[in-house]
Structure formats: C-alpha cells, structure tokens
Amino acid sequence: MFLFVTVYALYSCSGILAQSCSPIVQYTNLTINGNTISNVAGNFSDCCQYCQQKSNCVAYSWYNGTCILKSSAQPLYKAVGYLTAVLSPNSNNTYSLQTSYNGSTFFNNFTFISYTDPSGGDVNYTTQAQAQSLGLVQVLAGGQVYIGVDNTTIVPLNATRGRAAVRIQSKPIYNSGLFIFNLAHMPEGLGTWPAFWSYANPWPYNGEIDILEAIYTMPNNQISLHTSQNCTMPSNPGYINGAWGTKTTDCFTNYTAGISGCSIEAPNGTFGSAFNQAGGGVFAMEWDRFNFIRIWNFVQPNIPSDIASGSPNPNPSTWGLPNAYFPFGQNCSATHFNNQTLVINTDLCGSWVGSKFPGGASNCSTFVRSNPQYYSNAYYLINSLNVYCKPNDPYCVL
Ligand SMILES: *[C@@H]1O[C@H](CO)[C@@H](O)[C@H](O)[C@H]1NC(C)=O
Ligand SMILES: *[C@@H]1O[C@H](CO)[C@@H](O)[C@H](O)[C@H]1NC(C)=O
Ligand SMILES: *[C@@H]1O[C@H](CO)[C@@H](O)[C@H](O)[C@H]1NC(C)=O
Ligand SMILES: *[C@@H]1O[C@H](CO)[C@@H](O)[C@H](O)[C@H]1NC(C)=O
Ligand SMILES: *[C@@H]1O[C@H](CO)[C@@H](O)[C@H](O)[C@H]1NC(C)=O
Ligand SMILES: *[C@@H]1O[C@H](CO)[C@@H](O)[C@H](O)[C@H]1NC(C)=O
Ligand SMILES: *[C@@H]1O[C@H](CO)[C@@H](O)[C@H](O)[C@H]1NC(C)=O
Ligand SMILES: *[C@@H]1O[C@H](CO)[C@@H](O)[C@H](O)[C@H]1NC(C)=O
Ligand SMILES: *[C@@H]1O[C@H](CO)[C@@H](O)[C@H](O)[C@H]1NC(C)=O
Ligand SMILES: *[C@@H]1O[C@H](CO)[C@@H](O)[C@H](O)[C@H]1NC(C)=O
Ligand SMILES: *[C@@H]1O[C@H](CO)[C@@H](O)[C@H](O)[C@H]1NC(C)=O
Ligand SMILES: *[C@@H]1O[C@H](CO)[C@@H](O)[C@H](O)[C@H]1NC(C)=O
C-alpha cells in the first residue's frame, strides 16, 4: 500500500497521469480574489496539474482558457463564468479537534453567570445549581444538550430580575481557530433575543464577534463585530452570501454615543422558527489569527458533508462563499480581537427587543414576566460545539 501511494504521487507530480490530479471541491461562478501566483493557458481540467507543479499553489481559478494559480484558497469572490477548485491542504493547514463541548461533559468547560444581565435584558441568569433544579439545563439520553428558559413561573412585576434563563461562558479562551456550533433548535418566542458569540474584556478593545444573534421578529441571523476605533470592513457584496443592507461597515462601537458596530444580514431562514422547522443547522466561525474571520450559517439539509459526518478535520475551504467575510489589514488590524470567551445565552426584552415589541421594553417585561406559557420553545437543543485548531498554532486556545 505504501509503495503504491509513493508511485502514484510520483506520477501525479510529473503530470503523466492527468486523471490523478483532482481537487477536493469545485465552484462555479466564484473566483479567489488576489493571491495569484501566475496565469497558464489551458483547459479547466489541466489547471489541477499546473497547480500541483507549483510548490505554493493551493487552489486555482479558470476563465476563458486561462488557469489562474492561487497561493490561498480564499477569499472567494462572486465572478460569473469563473470556475474555482481547491487542492487537498497540507497537514499544516488542516484543522483538528481541540475542544469538544458535548454530551454529559458539555457544561464542564463553561461557567454560568448569575449576576445582573450585562446586556440590559430582563432576565434572571441563574447559577448552574439553580438552572439544574429548575430544569433549564439538561443532557438528553442521546447526548443533545437542552438549554431553556423558565416556562412555569409568573415573575412578579416588582421583582428585581425577570424570567429565569441561562448564560454560559467558556473557560478556555481563544485567539484563533475553527468553531462549529451544531444545533437542532434555537430559542424562539415573543421577546426572545438568543445569541452564540464571543467577547473579551476590556470591551470593546479586545473585540466581540456575534456569530448567531437576532431578535424574535427577525427571519434572519445578524452577524456583527464590535471593536475599538479603526476597524472597517469592505462593503463589497461579492465576498458574502449575505447583505450589509443598511448596516454600517465600521465596527467601532460606543453604545453611549449611539454607535453600534458593523453587521451583516444572513439570508432569511437562518434564524427563529424557520430555522427550527427545517430541523436546525450549523453556525461556524473560522478565525485566522492574522488574516480574517469568516462565518457560515447552514440550515438543514444543507450542511457541508464534513460537518454532517463529524469529520475530525473539517475544511472550511470546501464550504463555499461565507455569509460574512471580515479581513484584517490596513483597515482593521488583527489586534482588534484577542482572548475571546465563547458565550451561549437566551436573553429577553432589553433595548433591541424593546425597539420592536409593541409598547417598548417595559411592555415586553410585563408580558414576558406574566406569561410563562409562551416560553416552551425558547430553548437551544445543541448537538455539539466543537473547536478545531491548526497544528503548531500557538494562538488557538489559551
Ligand atoms: C482544450 O481542449 C480542447 C479540446 O479537447 C483542445 O483542442 C485544446 O487544445 C485545449 N486547449 C488547451 C489550451 O489546452
Ligand atoms: C477569451 O479569450 C479570447 C482570446 O483568447 C478573447 O478574444 C476573448 O475576448 C475572451 N473572452 C472573454 C469573454 O473574455
Ligand atoms: C453562473 O452564472 C450564470 C450567469 O448568471 C448562470 O446562468 C448560471 O446558471 C450560473 N451557474 C451556476 C452553476 O450557478
Ligand atoms: C509545516 O510547517 C513547518 C514549520 O513551519 C515546516 O517545517 C514544514 O515543512 C511544514 N510542512 C508542510 C507539509 O508544509
Ligand atoms: C475541560 O473539561 C475537561 C474534562 O471535562 C477538563 O479535563 C479540562 O480541564 C477542562 N478545561 C478547562 C479549561 O476548564
Ligand atoms: C412586591 O410586591 C408584593 C405585593 O405588593 C410585596 O409583598 C413584595 O414585598 C414586593 N417585593 C419587592 C421585591 O418589592
Ligand atoms: C433568580 O432565580 C432564582 C432561581 O429561581 C431565584 O432563587 C432568585 O431569587 C431569582 N433572583 C431574582 C433577583 O429574582
Ligand atoms: C485611528 O486612526 C486615526 C487615523 O489614522 C488615528 O489618528 C487614531 O489615533 C486611531 N485611533 C486609535 C484608537 O487607534
Ligand atoms: C463613548 O461616547 C461617549 C458619549 O459620546 C463618550 O463620552 C465616551 O468617551 C465614548 N467612549 C469611547 C471609548 O469612545
Ligand atoms: C426576508 O423576510 C422579510 C420579512 O419576512 C421579507 O420582508 C424579505 O423580503 C425577505 N427577504 C428575502 C430576500 O426573501
Ligand atoms: C490575553 O491573555 C493573556 C493571558 O492571560 C495575557 O497575557 C494577554 O495580555 C492578553 N492579551 C490582551 C490583548 O489582553
Ligand atoms: C416547558 O418547556 C418544555 C420544553 O421546552 C416542555 O417540555 C414543557 O412541557 C413546558 N412546560 C410547560 C408547563 O408548558
């Protein structure tokens, strides 16, 4: 077997066996912006070998008789008529599992916060012991993790806090990596504001990345960054399967001054009841320490095969155009994001929800506190949360 593999590799390097070179993924109407090594005249089927013959070639595009050899598999960019393909990555560029938060050990690497909601919602975040005794957190027989909201208590209007809920924060701290949050259900219901996100103090100097966040009225996820000054993203829609819409591309955030950061709207169906009716999906973030953050939202049944099969080495370069692409460089240095703690929470009411809830935030609080029966669907059902690192990456996890 070893001999066979060796001979095969020799032949494919010398280009004798044309059919031996095959990419791991192929895209239509996408190219890779920049990162060009050289152009070679050829048919698309020839490009693979031309790429293999260059030591730094990892991917290629093809257009109108020209192979465009690439030193990076990203950023993907919409371009009608282009074909793009990616070669199998070398071991240095292959992610492998670092932390798996799942099943009976899911909560071991999380802390429950039980202080007043720092985001200004009307919830009573509980300790792990309180959450367990109220049935707000459970590990189901099949290993799925349930995180809900109290759906039995009428909370007095004069109580200092609102409905009991959960906010958990990871003990490990990250500075790069691939994060895959796989869920069968997300919280929905009047006044809900769920999120899967990361942040670090001092805020916003060490940044915040909102991977999944929206409020109960919205049909789509909203992906946001919150930073200190001098972090602006390209508004070009060619990089994303999503829309900047009316949102700013300047990620600087100062809520006191009414400046709320940069946000991309993912497509409809990536949030709330439509997401749940589809059977859930996956929110994935790739954070390349010095180069970019990319985020994908997948809804069942459109989950990439490496995620669906539980591959220990998922490859985001096979997932197609991301929903969000946030490059680092002159317009946003990578130092805007450090030491991120992962957070999963279900918030209720607060100012964002109050801007949509009839009668505003105080009416929202009155309604939510008085009507526990509306919160039976305000739960996460988590299949897994996995974090993957590249080999020898000193930044991935602290
Ligand atoms: C592309 O393929 C066609 C048909 O097989 C062939 O005639 C042509 O020479 C090829 N072009 C290049 C640049 O290899
Ligand atoms: C394709 O390339 C040929 C020359 O090789 C050129 O004449 C033609 O304009 C090109 N077509 C497009 C759409 O770029
Ligand atoms: C590529 O884009 C063209 C022009 O918009 C379209 O006709 C074609 O269907 C697209 N191909 C694919 C596979 O999406
Ligand atoms: C991986 O990185 C190490 C250290 O930078 C380097 O020595 C090695 O050649 C690389 N391996 C491959 C397959 O590129
Ligand atoms: C994560 O949990 C595992 C066992 O569940 C434990 O060995 C490890 O120390 C934990 N890591 C942190 C950072 O708490
Ligand atoms: C809330 O109101 C009830 C009934 O008026 C009263 O008994 C209770 O002490 C009040 N609680 C708080 C926290 O003010
Ligand atoms: C929060 O919920 C817990 C558990 O039900 C309860 O013991 C506690 O009194 C509540 N705190 C407030 C401030 O309402
Ligand atoms: C942001 O950039 C401007 C212009 O380059 C510079 O004057 C300012 O000091 C920078 N602010 C921060 C907080 O780095
Ligand atoms: C935020 O805005 C407020 C009000 O304009 C201002 O007082 C404060 O200094 C700003 N903070 C930062 C970090 O820019
Ligand atoms: C998304 O849903 C909203 C609200 O239901 C609707 O107004 C909008 O047209 C939809 N957008 C697309 C692209 O379907
Ligand atoms: C990140 O955390 C490490 C370890 O606690 C600390 O040494 C470092 O200063 C932190 N970085 C930033 C930018 O806060
Ligand atoms: C509360 O919600 C759970 C599911 O999230 C459901 O099984 C349970 O029946 C609900 N309780 C009530 C009293 O509605």
Using alpha carbons, select from 169, 161, 166 the residue that is nearest to residue 129.
166
Ligand 7 centroid to residue 101 C-alpha, Å: 27
Nearest atom in ligand 9 to the alpha carbon of residue 254 is 1
Buried b (16+ CB within 10 A) or exposed e, 317-332: bbbebbbbbbbbeeeb
Strand partners, 1: none
Give the mean model confidence (pLDDT) for residues 115-126.
Answer: 97
Which atom, in ligand 7's list, is nearest to the CA of 114?
1
Between the CA of 14 and the centroid of ligand 8 the distance, in Å, is 52
Nearest CA to ligand 4 atom 7: 92
- Cα separation, 307 vs 315, whole angstroms: 9
Mean pLDDT along residues 315-338 = 98
Q: Is the pLDDT of residue 17 over 70?
A: no
What is the distance in A from the centroid of ligand 3 to the CA of 77? 14
Whether residue 158 has its Cβ less than 6 Å from ligand 6: yes
**Given ligand 12 and candidates 376, 377, 381, 382, which is best to mutate, with the most ligand atoms within 8 Å of its CB?**
376
From the CA of 116, the nearest ligand is 7
Among 201, 206, 256, 259, the mutation site with the greatest number of ligand 9 atoms within 8 A of its Cβ is: 256
Catalytic sites, residue numbers: 208, 213
For 23, the token pair is 């990419």
CB of 141 within 6 A of ligand 3: the answer is no
What is the chain's mean pLDDT, rounded? 94
Could you tell me if 32 and 73 are in contact, meaning their C-beta atoms sit under 8 angstroms apart?
A: yes
Inform me whether the pLDDT recorded for 5 exceeds 80: no
Q: Report the nearest-CA residue for atom 12 of ligand 1.
A: 42
Cβ–Cβ under 8 Å, residues 172 and 349: no
What was the pLDDT predicted at 75? 98
State the amino acid at position 267 in one-letter form: P
366 CB-side CA count, 13 A: 7
Contact criterion met (CB below 8 Å) for 269 and 169: no
Domains in the chain (CATH in brackets) are: 19-88 (3.50.4.10), 96-389 (2.60.120.200)
Closest ligand 1 atom, CA of 46? 14
pLDDT of residue 12: 42
Buried b (16+ CB within 10 A) or exposed e, 145-172: bbbbbbbeeebeeeeebbbbbbbbbbeb
Q: At what angle do helices 2-14 and 44-52 cross, to 10 degrees?
A: 110
CB neighbours of residue 78 within 10 Å: 16
Residue 398, number of CB atoms within 10 A of its CB? 11
Amino acid at 109: N
Give percent above pLDDT 90 in the chain. Answer: 93
CA 386, CA 231: separation in Å to the nearest integer?
28
Predicted TM-score (pTM) of this structure: 0.93
Terminal Cα-to-Cα distance of the chain (whole angstroms): 40
Ligand number with the minimum distance to the CA of 155: 7
pLDDT mean over 34-51: 97
How would residue 140 be classed by pLDDT, with cut points 50, 70 and 90?
very high
User: Residue 398: its pLDDT value, please?
Assistant: 77
For ligand 5, whether the C-beta of 42 sits within 6 Å is no
Which listed ligand is nearest to 125 at the C-alpha?
Answer: 7
Identify the pLDDT of residue 219.
98
* 17 vs 198, more confident: 198
| 273 pocket-lining for ligand 10 (C-beta < 6 Å) | no
Q: Is the CB of 379 under 6 A from ligand 12?
A: yes
Ligand 1 test: best mutation among 40, 43, 50, most atoms within 8 Å of CB?
A: 43
Per-residue pLDDT band for 8 (boundaries 50, 70, 90) equals very low
The string of pLDDT tens digits covering residues 364-376 is: 999 999 999 999 9
- For the cut 70, the answer to whether the pLDDT of residue 214 exceeds it is yes
**Mean pLDDT score, 339-361:** 98
User: Looking at the CA of 202, which ligand is closest?
Assistant: 11
For the segment 230-257, what is each residue's pLDDT rounded down to a tens digit? 999 999 999 999 999 888 999 999 999 9
Q: What is the pLDDT of residues 89-107, one digit of tens each?
A: 999 999 999 999 989 999 9
Grade residue 113 by pLDDT with cuts at 50, 70 and 90: very high
pLDDT for the residue 19: 56
CA dihedral 198, 203, 207, 209 (to 10 degrees): 30
Rounded to an integer, the average pLDDT of 187-205 is 98
Tokens 């400046």 correspond to what residue? 259
**331: CB partners within 8 A, 6+ apart:** 230, 231, 232, 233, 234
Average pLDDT score over residue span 311-340: 98
Give the dihedral of Cα atoms 106, 112, 118, 121; nearest 10 deg: 80
Predicted local confidence at residue 397, as pLDDT:
84
DSSP string, 119-135: T--SEEEPPHHHHHHTT
Give the position of tokens 């044309």: 18
Considering only CA atoms, which of 297, 290, 282 is closest in space to residue 326? 290
CA separation for the pair 281, 220 (Å, rounded): 13
Q: Tell me: pLDDT of 215 over 90.
A: yes
- Cα 177 to middle of ligand 5, angstroms: 18
**pLDDT of residue 66 exceeding 60:** yes
Largest CA distance in the chain: 79
